[in-house]
Structure 1
Amino acid sequence: MARSKDPAVRTLLVERAAHMLRTREPVTLRSLVAGTPMSTMAVYTHFGGMNGMWRAVRQEGFTRLAAGFAGVTTTEDPVRDLTALVVAYLRNALDHPDLYRVMFDADFDLEDLKAADATLEHMVRAASRGRTAGRFREDVVPLDLATQSWAIGHGLVSLVATGPLPPQALDHGVPMLIGLFTGAGDHPGECRTSVEQGWKLPTAG
């Protein structure tokens, strides 16, 4: 008879594996469940083995990021919304630092590559709306602008989450995004207002 799967156990194993990877602890079947009430069979029950475990660990970071993006309210201001999506990216990294460090480790496959790619689409849609609304020039490619916005957020939060910068350094994102968006055609004054409205961090500024 197949063992039933417990979502809480799955989450515990994923988070524990991510933490062990970040702290460079050797991750084996036995070390993963050591000190917990679980047996090694739990890894097979929930993931089919260690290979499935690694895929799930990477995927979980993108799953939580997607949930964070989905929680961003869409307004009539696409520049504010694109900024808010960058902030959601930062928040996901700060709330789940262990998973964040594993998300982009290409040594492990993803369970669902399309689902991971879909997270960027949230930013692409906001950038596209900005171009349609006349905030960005017609020659601006939404995918390019979304990627550049993502790169700003990724660079900043990586330096904060892994050191050496303090959380306050995240606020450098405001002038960086203003520079990016005005370079894409947005009016400086309107852009600043939009970015400042969208820039609401849990730990900085």
Structure 2
Amino acid sequence: MPRRPDPAVRTLLVERAARMLADREPVTLRALVEGTGASTMAVYTHFGGMPGLWSAVRQEGFTRLAGRLAAVPRTADPVHDLVALGVAYARNALDAPELYRAMFDARADLADALAADATFDRLVDAVARARDEGRLSPATDPRALATQYWAAGHGLVSLVVQGVLPAGGLAPLATRTAVALLTAAGDEPDRCRASVERAWAAG
């Protein structure tokens, strides 16, 4: 009788694969399951093989990010809420740096690309709300500004995850970057800075 997939084993293998990848260890079936109590057959039971494993590693990163973003509460301040999504993004990366690195490795297909896209769409929606509520210029293109904001934040977070920048420098750098982008998009500087600083202080 075939074994039923065990969610705990699946998570264990996903996290171990991400960690081995980050540590530049060769990821073979035997190396992956060594010391876990799982058999090599577990990789086929849960993922259908190594390609499915890599897809699952990427997907797990986006799944956890989606959960973190969904937990960000909505307030009366749309700029605060936009930046709070960036803070949640950063916290997600720092809590699981191996998964964060793996989730952007486009060599592995995603099992659910739409779910991954939805994490970025949440950011686009937040920019649109800030524009529609008068904090940003009516001419603001939500997708274009969201792309700029994500690219800047991703770059800073990646440098921290890779050990190039100290974690303590992330909030000040991210604050300055967000204020520069959002004031250029039409927000009032002092009001913008207050919103951004509140989001990072809360996060």
Give the TM-score normalised by structure 2. Answer: 0.96
User: 2:48 & 2:158 partners in 1: Cα distance?
Assistant: 32
Q: How does 1:35-54 map to 2 (within 5 A)?
A: 35-54=35-54
User: 1: CA distance between counterparts of 2:129 and 2:96?
Assistant: 29
Give the corresponding residue for 2:97.
Answer: 97
Structure 2 partner of 1:119: 119
Take 2:74 and 2:28, find their aligned partners in 1: how far apart are those partners? 43
Map of 1:116-195 to 2, 5 A cutoff? 116-170=116-170, 171-195=172-196
- The alpha-carbon deviation at position 201 of structure 1 amounts to 7.0
Paired residues for 1:28-67 under 5 Å: 28-67=28-67
SS where residue 110 of structure 2 aligns?
Answer: coil
Say if 1:156 and 1:173, in contact at 8 Å, map to a contact too. Answer: yes
Aligned-residue offset at 1:200: 3.2
Equivalent residue pairs, number: 202
Q: Is the 8 A contact 1:152 1:176 kept in 2?
A: yes
Calculate the aligned-residue CA RMSD, in Å.
1.1
Q: CA deviation at 1:28?
A: 1.1
CA separation in 1, counterparts of 2:147 and 2:199?
A: 18
Task: Identify if the C-alpha distance between structure 1 residues 201 and 10 changes in structure 2 by more than 3 Å, giving closer, same or farther.
Answer: farther
1:39-79 alpha-carbon deviations (Å, 9 max, x no partner)? 01111111111111010001111111001100100111110
The equivalent of 1:5 in structure 2 is: 5
**Alpha-carbon distance between aligned partners in 2 of 1:92 and 1:184, rounded to the nearest angstrom:** 27
Supply the distance in 2 between the matched residues of 1:106 and 1:127 (Cα, whole angstroms).
26
After superposition, the C-alpha distances for 1:151-177 in whole angstroms (9 at most, x for unaligned) are 121111111110211112202111110
Give distance in 1, aligned partners of 2:8 and 2:202: 28
Distance in 2 between residues matched to 1:7 and 1:119, nearest whole Å: 23
Runs of at least 4 residues of structure 1 off by over 2 A? none
Q: Note the residue ranges of structure 2 that are not aligned, 5 or more in a row.
A: none
Q: Is the 8 A contact 1:156 1:169 kept in 2?
A: no
1:163-197 per-residue CA deviation (whole Å, 9 max, x = no partner) reads: 21111220211111011100000011111111111
Q: State the distance in 2 between where 1:184 and 1:99 align.
A: 32
User: In 1, Cα distance between the equivalents of 2:126 and 2:184?
Assistant: 17
